[in-house]
């Protein structure tokens, strides 16, 4: 794992992108100086950035790494910088004027980059020295930088190829980006193609007089894209940003036959005129007021109440493999078929027409759309899956048997990049019903949970316990699902409570606690991502060390379903916080609220992660980095249990009394947790009390109501 402490970065420009980049770098441990026109304007920008949602900063520790200043008084700080990242206004003259001031101050080997979404990088470097030009590049971060992993790296004709490789490695290993080297063409790859596709969807929707909800249903997961789909994505980006980028592309690509698509759609022009720029202004295509949501009618341009999508063929086709469902959809005479014929076919043809101009390979093109826009398949993988003949394209496969088609028509091997292999790419050497043992190479193995969303079931606990008992070598524990684990399968508790089969529940809890005890005797690195909740955390916290994806949501939210952590979680958190009464109170209050850390950094402040647990710099290398940690994995030795001294129960009561909206039943759950914190005299007794109090709560009607509500609605019931 790399350590970024002591590496100095100067970000110049404290606007939306500049402050977001600075926050991301602070989160990763860099010492960051953020400069704006003046120190005062910089301070005001950071105050705004603190309140942005989703949050830029992990928390106070990240903010502590940030120093603020003004270009007018503090530009000299660049003399000690490893990297100077300029992110000022998107105007060439302003950027070039800044570089003239910067150049005499820069250290000889500092990286120099401009963050731009489409300006010509070669033009910006004009007039600068050879030393400046050889290490000058474009770095196109995606907004918000904390969450979107793509970075387009754009060298000029004068950039030293060695510098390009040095910067690429720096950005991947230290800045946690997946880097695509793009050509210095208008909009690079992301905006040249991605923005065109966004505009095309709006034009087609307006022409066909479709509803926003229906278009977003057609262009979301059905097309292998995020739920933000089309119009919600427009709101995220902002109408003004969309038009600014489009106008720049129109000016720089006037003769391209596809350019007219970038003309401002009627609805976009209306929204801009009304000041409805999207999420940042509180209204755009969608408007949320309190708990109600409205959508813009593309014909009347008035807001109306949203409703469920009404495209029956979507559900009928959704379970088919991607290529087959799109082929079938294109044959339909309904809104889905008509929309896809007018939107998807031209979009994929456009990608094919510009691929050589803007990208070095179809893989680079596809990666931009997957990493920057969240598409499951890039346009060329989509063409292969659907069939080029269906789309009116030449019958050539872009990917075939581990190779990709080059722009010249030959095939070359896909890059291996072992550091970015997902767990599913490693061969299975021992298949089990609820997990697989996979070969990571070089003698390393992984146990990967294969249940839906990594849910912990009685079958998994039994099967995995048997395997762990026999395991004689260090291993990585992770998951093949979209998350490490969402916790214990609540359906088990519903089924047993309906039959009052408390013995089965007690046995299941004991087996889970015993699995945790077994894991503590082994050498295990646990690689977590997505969610690590409830029983998932109880298991992970029993491993030698956790390596976490930085955006993992981590916690013990059992109180939200009327329970307490019963697989060793309550006892473990009491043990971890036992050194001080204040620590015990804070942890007991946290558990009684079912608080979940929204990032690995926050989970550390909550005590869910240990100081020795690590956060991955580049989340895509999670499995690779976990395997590298195996030689330092050691069995876990729990500290001795300490009986609390002083009036701890009263202090916990006082802490819980300050929680807003705490219901009477929340207090009941909290009292059971408090009893374990205050009355257990040993580790074994704490575990026994966990099982006992868990059963007591499970038998209660309010708990059963909370569990059923969570299963049916996916959100907690406040009863």
- Tell me the pLDDT tens digit for each residue of 304-341: 999 999 999 999 999 999 999 999 999 999 999 999 99
Residue 312 and residue 211 in one domain: yes
Query: 420 lies in a domain?
Result: no
Query: ∠ at Cα 139 (134, 141), nearest 5°?
Result: 170
**Domain containing 223 — which CATH number?**
1.10.1040.50
Identify the three-state secondary structure at position 559: helix
Same domain for 46 and 19: yes
Closest of 702, 714, 524 to residue 627, by C-alpha: 524
Are 161 and 29 found together in one domain? Answer: yes
Strands 428-431, 435-441: pairing kind: antiparallel
Count of structural domains within the chain: 4
DSSP 481: S
Q: Phi first, then psi: give them for residue 296, nearest 5 degrees.
A: -75, 130
Let me know whether 442 and 497 are in one domain. Answer: yes
> Do 539 and 661 belong together in one domain?
no
Question: In which domain, by residue range, is 222 found?
Answer: 190-354+363-413
The average pLDDT across 425-448 equals 97
Angle of helix 664-679 relative to helix 648-657, nearest 10 degrees? 160
CA distance 579 to 353: 65
Q: State residue 1's pLDDT score.
A: 67
Per-residue pLDDT tens over the stretch 688-711: 999 999 999 999 999 999 999 999
Last residue of a domain, one of 142, 164, 181: 181
Do 619 and 669 reside in the same domain of the chain?
no
Q: Are 214 and 64 in contact (CB under 8 A)?
A: no
- pLDDT-based confidence at 643, cuts 50/70/90? confident
The answer to whether residue 79 sits within a structural domain is yes
Instruction: Indicate whether 443 and 565 sit together in one domain.
Output: no
Residue 589 maps to a domain: yes
Q: Which of 683, 686, 674, 687 is nearest to 647 (CA)?
A: 674
Tokens of 640: 């001795």
* DSSP structural state of residue 560: G
CATH number at residue 129: 3.40.50.720
Task: Place 289 in a pLDDT band, splitting at 50, 70 and 90.
Answer: confident
- 392 and 492 share one domain: no
**Domain C-terminal end among 585, 605, 637:** 637
CATH code, 490: 3.90.226.10
Q: How many CA atoms lie within 13 A of 449 on its CB side?
A: 32
Residues 552 and 579 in one domain: no
Q: What is the DSSP letter of 318?
A: T
| Residue 664 within any structural domain of the chain | yes
Is the bond preceding residue 111 a cis peptide, omega within 30 degrees? no
pLDDT, residue 53, reads 84
Question: What are the pLDDT digits (tens) for 70-90?
Answer: 999 999 999 999 999 999 999
d(CA 278, CA 286) in angstroms, rounded, equals: 8
Q: Do the domain assignments include residue 474?
A: yes
pTM above 0.85, yes or no: yes
The owner of tokens 């109408």 is 239
Residue 425 within any structural domain of the chain:
no
Question: Rg of the chain over CA atoms, in angstroms?
Answer: 27
HEC string of 252-292? Answer: HCCCCCCHHHHCCCHHHHHHHHCCCCEHHHCECCEEEECCE
**Claim to verify: residue 503 and residue 611 sit in the same structural domain:** yes
Q: Are residues 301 and 446 in the same domain?
A: no
Instruction: Classify residue 422: in a domain, yes or no.
Output: no
**543 and 683 assigned to the same domain:** no
Q: What is the pLDDT of residues 488-507, one digit of tens each?
A: 999 999 999 999 999 999 99
What distance in Å separates the CA atoms of residue 426 and residue 439, rounded to the nearest whole number?
6
Question: Is 419 part of any domain?
Answer: no
């Amino acid at each position: 794992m790399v350590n970024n402490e002591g590496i100095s970065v100067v970000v110049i420009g404290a606007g939306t992108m500049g402050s977001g980049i600075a926050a991301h770098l602070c989160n990763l441990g860099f010492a960051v100086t953020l400069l704006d026109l003046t120190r005062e304007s910089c301070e005001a920008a950071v105050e705004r950035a603190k309140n942005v949602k989703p949050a830029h900063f992990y928390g106070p520790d990240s903010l502590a790494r940030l120093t603020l200043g003004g270009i007018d008084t503090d530009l000299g700080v660049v003399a000690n910088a490893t990297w100077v990242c300029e992110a000022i206004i998107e105007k060439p003259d302003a950027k070039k004027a800044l570089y003239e001031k910067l150049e005499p101050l820069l250290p000889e080997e500092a990286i120099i980059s401009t963050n731009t979404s489409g300006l010509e990088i070669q033009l910006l470097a004009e007039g600068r020295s050879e030393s400046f030009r050889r290490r000058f590049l474009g770095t196109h971060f995606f907004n918000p930088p904390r969450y979107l992993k793509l970075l387009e790296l754009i060298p000029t004709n004068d950039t030293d190829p060695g510098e390009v490789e040095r910067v690429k490695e720096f950005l991947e290993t230290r800045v946690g980006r997946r880097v695509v080297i793009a050509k210095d063409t208008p909009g690079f790859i992301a905006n040249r193609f991605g923005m065109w596709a966004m505009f095309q969807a709006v034009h087609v929707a307006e022409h066909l007089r479709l509803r926003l909800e229906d278009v977003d249903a057609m262009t979301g997961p059905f097309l292998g894209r995020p739920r933000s789909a089309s119009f919600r994505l427009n709101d995220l980006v902002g109408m003004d940003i969309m038009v600014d980028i489009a106008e720049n592309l129109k000016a720089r690509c006037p003769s391209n036959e596809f350019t007219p698509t970038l003309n401002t759609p009627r609805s976009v022009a209306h929204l801009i005129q009304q000041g409805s720029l999207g999420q940042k202004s509180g209204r755009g295509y969608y408007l949320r007021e309190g708990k109600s949501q409205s959508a813009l009618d593309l014909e009347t341009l008035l807001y109306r109440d949203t409703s469920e999508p009404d495209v029956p063929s979507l559900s009928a086709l959704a379970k088919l493999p991607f290529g087959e469902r799109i082929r079938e959809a294109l044959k339909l005479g309904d809104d889905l078929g008509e929309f896809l014929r007018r939107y998807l076919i031209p979009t994929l043809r456009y990608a094919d027409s510009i691929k050589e101009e803007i990208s070095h390979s179809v893989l680079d093109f596809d990666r931009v759309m997957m990493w920057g826009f969240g598409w499951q398949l890039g346009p060329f993988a989509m063409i292969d899956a659907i069939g080029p003949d269906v789309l009116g394209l030449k019958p050539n496969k872009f990917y075939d048997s581990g190779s990709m088609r080059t722009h010249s028509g030959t095939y070359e091997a896909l890059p291996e990049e072992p550091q970015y292999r997902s767990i599913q790419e490693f061969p299975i050497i021992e298949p089990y019903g609820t997990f697989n043992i996979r070969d990571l190479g070089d003698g390393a193995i992984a146990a990967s949970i294969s249940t839906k969303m990594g849910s912990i079931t009685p079958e998994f606990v039994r099967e995995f316990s048997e395997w762990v008992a026999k395991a004689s070598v260090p291993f990585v524990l992770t998951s093949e699902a979209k998350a490490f684990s969402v916790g214990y399968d609540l359906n088990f508790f519903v089924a047993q409570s309906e039959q009052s089969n408390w013995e089965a529940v007690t046995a299941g809890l004991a087996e889970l606690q015993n699995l945790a005890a077994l894991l503590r005797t082994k050498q295990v690195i646990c690689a977590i991502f997505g969610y690590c909740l409830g029983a998932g955390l109880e298991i992970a916290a029993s491993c030698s060390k956790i390596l976490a994806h930085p955006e993992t949501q981590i916690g013990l939210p059992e109180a939200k379903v009327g329970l307490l952590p019963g697989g060793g979680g309550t006892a473990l958190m009491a043990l971890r916080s036992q050194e001080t009464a204040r620590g015990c109170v804070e942890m007991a209050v946290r558990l009684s609220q079912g608080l979940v850390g929204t990032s690995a950094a926050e989970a550390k402040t909550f005590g869910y992660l240990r100081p020795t647990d690590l956060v991955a710099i580049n989340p895509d290398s999670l499995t690779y980095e976990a395997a590298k940690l195996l030689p330092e994995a050691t069995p876990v030795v729990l500290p001795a249990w300490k009986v609390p001294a002083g009036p701890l129960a009263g202090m916990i009561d006082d802490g819980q009394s300050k929680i807003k909206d705490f219901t009477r039943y929340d207090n009941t759950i909290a009292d059971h947790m408090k009893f374990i914190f205050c009355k257990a005299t040993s580790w074994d007794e704490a575990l026994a009390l966990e099982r006992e109090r868990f059963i007591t709560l499970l038998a209660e009607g309010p708990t059963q109501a909370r569990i059923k509500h969570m299963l049916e609605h996916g959100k907690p019931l406040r009863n």
